Homo-oligomer: A and B are copies of this chain.
Amino acid sequence: MAGSKKITIAHVAEHAKVSSATVSRVLRHPELVNPSTVARVRKSLSELGYSGIAGQPAAGTSRRTIVVNIPWLDNPFYGEIMRGVRVSAEAHGLEMLISWGSPDNVESCKRFCSMLQNCGAAGVIILCPLSAESLERISSTVPTVQCCEYNPETNIPFVSIDDREAARTAVEHLVSCGCKKLSIVCGPQVYKYARGRKEGFLEVIRAHDLVERPSWMLQIPNNNFGLAYSAICHMLESPNRPDGVFACSDTYAAAVIRAAKKCGLEVPRDLMVVGFDNTDTATMTTPALTTISQPRYDMGFSACNLLIERMDGSDSASSMLLETELVVRESTIRK
């Protein structure tokens, strides 16, 4: 079949009368597949002359590259996700490059697609919040997967968490610790994560009939410690202040602890705080942070696996929401 049209997993699936996912599994984990199916798929692979998994070129040829697009390089949240992506990419013989910045308007999205083409990207993982239009444009350029942030208006698969549910867990914990006047420190609402966490927050305070005060709902332009610190100081200096804060990142939670100290308040005695992400920051602060742990490594790893299935031609690759958990540390344990 040398020189002919590239045979994809979808072709093999049709020929063997199985799903694309099954072909993928036979290639990667035959031990999980019924032996007669393995035999049938292998026969089709051989008859069609399937030339190997994407990103595993024959010896001597150069490795293919995937691009991961992240919104902020200086957010410690992304490091562990990238580690997961990289391990999966390396296992499949792929190079990984990181693109920093959101291609969030028509012009920058066109430039982004042109860059993907110029650098010969074999696929892309998007962590930026993008419009359906931008995502469709990117996805029609190279195989695309969304990670963490996702836009459910498209059919592009994603790996993420249930932000609303995770936020509910965090805020219910503050309520169970006796907090009655709750604040949220959140990121820009252009992010799905920010909208989801705010929804979860509001659901809990409404369910418990707690006060819903706009001046206690802070929205910070980005995951910036300094900006969050200033806004939180302002809130804590006012006569009527909250007794519990749900911070939508550990960076914000660290800013709450610092601002409390500045305002002469002791955490957790006068003010309790829950963070989000379980980055190193959560154990760098004094007191250490109660926080929501996200499976960041797993998200990156799974997103890359999903992308490889797409690159292999499978269109049955399905989205995933991974589990989070509450890690309780000093910032909510009253001595």
**Residues of B contacting A97 in the complex (Cβ-Cβ under 8 angstroms):** 67, 97-99, 115, 119
The bracket for how many chain A residues form the interface is 35 or more
A80 CB–B CB distance under 8 Å = yes
Looking at the assembled complex, report how far the CB atom of A287 sits from the nearest CB atom of chain B, in whole angstroms. Answer: 9
A258 x B280 contact (CB < 8 A) = no
A153 CB–B CB distance under 8 Å = no
B281 x A284 contact (CB < 8 A) = yes
B-binding segment of A8-16, A70-78, A308-316: A70-78
A49 CB–B CB distance under 8 Å = no
Closest residue of chain B to A93 (Cβ to Cβ) is B111
Q: How far is the CA of A73 from the CA of B82 in the complex (A)?
A: 8
B65 x A73 contact (CB < 8 A) = no
**Residues of B contacting A111 in the complex (Cβ-Cβ under 8 angstroms):** 63, 95
A134 CB–B CB distance under 8 Å = no
Question: Pick the contact of A257 from B257, B281, B286 — CB < 8 Å?
Answer: B286
A63 x B115 contact (CB < 8 A) = yes
Looking at the assembled complex, report how far the CB atom of A256 sits from the nearest CB atom of chain B, in whole angstroms. Answer: 11
Looking at the assembled complex, report how far the CB atom of A220 sits from the nearest CB atom of chain B, in whole angstroms. Answer: 14
Q: How far is the CA of A66 from the CA of B243 in the complex (A)?
A: 49
**Residues of B contacting A76 in the complex (Cβ-Cβ under 8 angstroms):** 74, 76
Q: How far is the CA of A104 from the CA of B281 in the complex (A)?
A: 30
A118 x B261 contact (CB < 8 A) = no
**Residues of B contacting A188 in the complex (Cβ-Cβ under 8 angstroms):** none
**Residues of B contacting A50 in the complex (Cβ-Cβ under 8 angstroms):** none
Closest residue of chain B to A95 (Cβ to Cβ) is B115
B120 x A118 contact (CB < 8 A) = yes
A residues 277-306 touching B (CB-CB < 8 Å)? 280-281, 283-286
In the complex, the count of this chain's copies comes to 2
Closest residue of chain B to A255 (Cβ to Cβ) is B284
Q: How far is the CA of A229 from the CA of B288 in the complex (A)?
A: 14
Q: A119-B97, A120-B120 are in contact. Are A83 and B78 (CB under 8 A)?
A: no
Closest residue of chain B to A120 (Cβ to Cβ) is B118
Q: How far is the CA of A120 from the CA of B118 in the complex (A)?
A: 7
Looking at the assembled complex, report how far the CB atom of A79 sits from the nearest CB atom of chain B, in whole angstroms. Answer: 3
A191 CB–B CB distance under 8 Å = no
Q: How far is the CA of A283 from the CA of B73 in the complex (A)?
A: 19
Q: How far is the CA of A139 from the CA of B95 in the complex (A)?
A: 20
A105 CB–B CB distance under 8 Å = no
A183 CB–B CB distance under 8 Å = no
Q: How far is the CA of A97 from the CA of B101 in the complex (A)?
A: 10
A residues 98-126 touching B (CB-CB < 8 Å)? 98-101, 111, 114-115, 117-121
Q: How far is the CA of A111 from the CA of B257 in the complex (A)?
A: 46
B79 x A74 contact (CB < 8 A) = yes
**Top 9 closest A-B pairs, CB basis?**
A74-B79, A119-B119, A98-B98, A254-B284, A97-B97, A286-B286, A225-B280, A95-B115, A73-B79
> What would be 23 A-B contacts, judged by CB atoms less than 8 Å apart?
A62-B118, A65-B115, A65-B118, A67-B97, A73-B78, A73-B98, A74-B78, A74-B80, A74-B82, A74-B83, A82-B100, A95-B99, A96-B100, A118-B120, A119-B120, A120-B120, A225-B284, A226-B280, A229-B283, A257-B286, A258-B283, A281-B281, A281-B284
